[in-house]
Chains A and B, each alone.
Chain A
Amino acid sequence: MNTEPHIASAFDRDLEAIQAMIMKMGGLVEAAILDAAQALESRDEDMANGVRKGDEAIDALEFRIQQEAARVIALRAPTAGDLRTVLTVMKIAASLERMGDYAKNMAKRAVVLTQMSPIEGSTGTVRRMARSVSVMLKDVLDAYIHRDVELATNVRKRDVDVDQIYNTLFRALLTHMMEDPRNITACMHLHFIAKNVERMGDHATTIAEQVIYLVTGTPVEESRPKGDTTSISHIED
């Protein structure tokens, strides 16, 4: 990909401004994921409410990015690498916005869970998952800004680890629910939280694929390793 400056320097400034907004959005989402998991583990209602409130800023950034991208398309008619920059910016912003929503939903459930008795081991596992996802997100944003296909490919492969933690937690929650039906409400909330984190990992993977497309010009088609097996699991009698 060509990274020389344009003759029209305002075009460079436009593209840089949009990408700076992506990085800012990425930073907010990363913090939201970690804070939501932390709030869940330490049963910290204030922190959880902070994550819920913070989602507005993420949504506002996404809106601005989509608007700016539309402007660049209309005013600059980008081609080749510039066109891919604008197209990927739009998709990455959408993925980040979804990740922010999942973090917000986690925080909401974390508040509800403070009213219930804790499920042993579960919140620590969620936090480990959230940490993996936040590192994936950090790396994929680094890969984006440095146009690093190798790092993006590596992130794409790492989603399988998140899936595996999710599988383990899924089984553990099933066991808790079978042992004592009074745990069901809490376990259902925890399961949705875990599923949210797992979905965030998928979005980080989507962003990695956008980075690969941005740099190489070819959409990623080969299937990636998947580790989520819960959709085919069942309870043995």
Chain B
Amino acid sequence: MNDMRIVERDVDQNGTKITARGVQVYYSDTHALKDVDVDILDKTVTAFIGPSGCGKSTFLRCLNRMNDTIPICRVEGMIKMDGEDIYDAKVDPVQLRARVGMVFQKPNPFPKSIYENVAYGPKIHGLTNSRAELDEIVESSLRRAALWNEVKDRLDSPGTGLSGGQQQRLCIARAVATSPEVLLMDEPCSALDPIATAQVEELIDELRSQFSVVIVTHSMQQAARVSQRTAFFHMGHLVEYGETGQIFTTPRDPRTESYITGRIG
């Protein structure tokens, strides 16, 4: 009786996609992330919220080994995707990043045509054999990013000539073109207007039928709108992780309540 929800958010039957245990991250001497345990569910949108510097982006970047590119950064603990340790020496980070795509805060299209922006990933990963196949991937990716109708007649114009919202959807199309299993989004809407934000949020909800989406956001309302699971980070700790409705109505930890009700920054 208690579990009847008007908004269908029950994703409990979905399996675990990523398991993290005892994850510690250091930037030189700074202990940025302290002993994080979390299970990211498959085909679910998971939101990471928390004040600036709480470690949410750091943790997000651990999930596709983006932190490898920072020399002073050290990651300890275990992160497994589908049971495989992603920090294993056998794992090629470039291949991993094809499986775990990423969209950044600011739209960062390549200084190339719209077509080339989307086709780049599939090309370098050798996902296609013919031009026709590539055309198909470009079209389907742009459709999934809800951008196709706006750009289909100007695929050869530069990606940088699009509006901010369109550029961000182009970046999402580029990320989904390699058919990732997980999509990481680091504040994907912070540079967008409310309409473009709504379009990206709608897109995120559609994408979750195909893969896991992990989104870092400063907008708590956005986390509440798009996610089924929410994790609250504070000072490097994962304070609370649970069903989004529960986090926003009856958080268990007083620090979570303080943050979501606007009492601590």
- Dominant SS at the B interface? helix
Determine if B261 and A79 form an interchain contact, defined as CB atoms under 8 angstroms apart. yes
Q: When A80-B249, A80-B251 are in contact, do A7 and B257 touch as well, CB less than 8 Å?
A: no
Q: Which residues between 44 and 100 of chain A lie within 8 Å of chain B, taking CB atoms?
A: 77-84
**CB 8 Å contact bits of A195-230 with B (1 = contact, 0 = none):** 000000000000000000000011000000000000
A79 & B260 in contact (Cβ 8 Å cutoff): yes
Chain A CB count within 10 A is highest, among B221, B249, B256, for: B249
Q: A residues within 8 A CB of B224? A: 79
- Assess the A7–B262 pair: CB atoms within 8 A: yes
Which one of B221, B250, B254, B256 has the highest number of Cβ atoms from chain A below 10 Å of its Cβ?
B250
Q: Give the residue name and chain of the B residue nearest to A83 (CB).
A: B249
Overall SS of chain A's interface: loop
Task: Report yes or no: B221 in contact with A80, Cβ–Cβ below 8 A.
Answer: no
What residues on B are CB-neighbors of A78 within 8 Å? Answer: 261
Residues A79 and B248 in contact, CB atoms below 8 Å apart: yes
Assess whether A234 is interfacial by the CB under 8 Å rule: no
B249 near A2 with CB under 8 A, answer no
B221 and A4 contact, CB distance less than 8 A: no
Task: Say whether A11 contacts B250, CB under 8 Å.
Answer: no
Q: Is the CB of A79 within 8 A of B263?
A: no
Q: A8-B262, A80-B251, A82-B261 are in contact. List 5 more A-B contacts (CB 8 A).
A: A2-B257, A2-B258, A7-B265, A79-B249, A80-B249
Binding site for A on B (CB under 8 A): 220-221, 224, 248-251, 254, 256-258, 260-265
Partner-B contacts on A (CB < 8 A) = 2, 4-8, 11, 77-84, 217-218
The 25 listed contacts between A and B (C-beta, < 8 Å) are: A2-B254, A2-B258, A4-B258, A4-B263, A6-B261, A7-B262, A7-B264, A7-B265, A11-B262, A77-B221, A79-B248, A79-B260, A79-B261, A80-B248, A80-B249, A80-B250, A80-B251, A80-B257, A80-B260, A80-B261, A81-B261, A82-B261, A83-B248, A83-B249, A217-B249
